[in-house]
Chains A and B, each alone.
Chain A
Amino acid sequence: MKRFSLICLCLALVLLLMPGCSSSGLKRYSAEFVELFDTFTQIIGYANSKAEFTAHAEEIYNQLKAFHQLYDIYNNYNDINNLKTINDNAGIMPVKVDAKIIDLLLYAKEIYTLTNEKCNIAMGSVLSIWHDYRTDGINDPENAKLPPTSELIDASAHTDIDKIIIDTENSTVYLDDPFMRIDVGAVAKGYATEIVALAMTEKGVDHMLLSVGGNIRAIGGKPPEADQDESPPWKVGIRDPFDDNKGNIVSLKINNKSVVTSGDYERYYIVDGEKQHHIIDPNTLMPAPFFTSVTIVCPHSGLADSLSTAIFCMDYEEGRALIESLEDVEAMWLMHDQTMVYTDGFEDMILP
């Protein structure tokens, strides 16, 4: 009898020790989505099982989809008032909207001041002209044209952000100019990504990387290796726009931060052999000519998104001064001659 219990004890010990022998349970998964914010969304994460990862990915998708519908300026959805509803009622009446819209618009007004008025969500009237000419130019490259200057100047008379009247108490928004249109293209994706990342963090989700159309937000780092406490950083590669076959122009170590790049090569059309990209300088009403791209790294994805656009529309000196004035914001400017200029903190993140 004693022998039997001894054997049992021995087996129990072996069983107890077994899980410790197997390698760490977290596996890497990825999920891709189209249609959200009219772009490509990718989620990379580590989880114990595919089911666990899929549940998180679906949750993120559903949350982003709600933001996408609310922030859409091109389409209506059943039973919801979105930014298009607000635009359609410009100069007519206030529209009752979800708090997610109020929060975004309030945030965008802050950003307008912070970015020396370079990131202006009230520029929709101007941006829609460029949007139409670009779409036509892509569909029919032979007849691609620049928008007439007079048309742009007329539209720019209706871009006063103070005429977006936000009533937080009644949760309504009114555009006090019938020709004004909201366009949140420079901030909405990043802002929504940030809110969703925070919500997932609150639920205890860790070790995830979200990319909403290149708007990157890391939730934590990668899972620590066995016997280590520290989360290794994600490795984020920024593609070389000058040579697609060369791979990355630079790769960064990123932990719990956001990375956003704005470049003249992302979305454009060609008029008389010249590239006309989609980032429009609010002062000249033309595509901003200063850089090939600007990359921003900072904790808040909404800030990274809007700053990348704003810095892209400033000359280097003004942009550098703005970045230096902000806490925990790093930047890289990729010049047309292929040189890279970056802040000290940015340099520290570059992988060898």
Chain B
Amino acid sequence: MEFAKKSDLLLIVAIIAICLLLWGIYATNNAYNQDEERTSLYAEIYYKNELVKRIPLKTDSDYTFSLEEKPNVVFQVYSSGGIAFIESDCPDKVCIKTGKLPHPTHKEAVCLPNSLVLKVISEGDSSSDDIDIHIK
């Protein structure tokens, strides 16, 4: 008795072909989405370790804002891309001195006296060539 007829073999080949095709579409689509996400940056602001604001870093003109929790701290979003602490009532001003994010060596700016962390993130994977962490 034959194991499979010619028509069966054809069917198997057809199923495998369809699977490969679907997988191909899925993989391309996935890569495309990741590319999209990698280029779109978000800023997150944490107050006392809680996420209090998340905004896309895309704007047509510069603008500033403050948080309800900390009205004396002012953030600026730049149309050229990026975000920074620009005013703060803390004594050391480390947050302002950190400068605009994303920065070549850091993705976060911190104001310890005000318990604020400003973090820039992209949803995509970071490149393995990037430095993982920085010591001051």
Contact = CB atoms under 8 A, between A and B. Distances in A.
Contacts, number: 104
B134 A239 contact: yes
Max chain A CB contacts within 10 Å: which of B5, B19, B48, B104? Answer: B19
Contact of A34 (B91, B117, B128, B132): B117
B130 A32 contact: no
Contacts of A172: none
B112 interface: yes
B130 A235 contact: yes
Given A11-B15, A35-B115, A236 B132 contact: yes
A33 B12 CA distance: 55
A216 B135 contact: yes
A232 interface: yes
B117 A211 contact: no
A295 B5 CA distance: 72
Contacts of A21: 23
A42 B112 CA distance: 13
A6 B117 contact: no
B132 A44 contact: yes
B115 A34 contact: yes
Given A34-B48, A42-B108, A211 B11 contact: no
Interface string B107-136: 010101001110100000110101111111
Interface in A245-259: 245, 247-248, 251, 259
Contact of B133 (A234, A265, A266): A234
A10 interface: yes
Contact of A44 (B4, B15, B92, B133): B133
Interface of A: 3, 6-7, 10-11, 14, 18, 21, 27-28, 32-35, 38-40, 42, 44, 61, 138-139, 209, 211, 214, 216, 222, 232, 234-239, 241, 244-245, 247-248, 251, 259-261, 263, 265-266, 295
Interface of B: 4-5, 8, 11-12, 15-16, 19, 23, 46, 48-49, 91-92, 99, 104-105, 108, 110, 112, 115-117, 119, 125-126, 128, 130-136
13 contacts: A14-B16, A14-B19, A18-B23, A28-B126, A44-B132, A61-B49, A209-B133, A216-B135, A234-B133, A235-B130, A238-B135, A247-B104, A295-B135
Given A7-B12, A239-B136, 5 more contacts: A7-B11, A211-B135, A222-B128, A241-B136, A260-B135
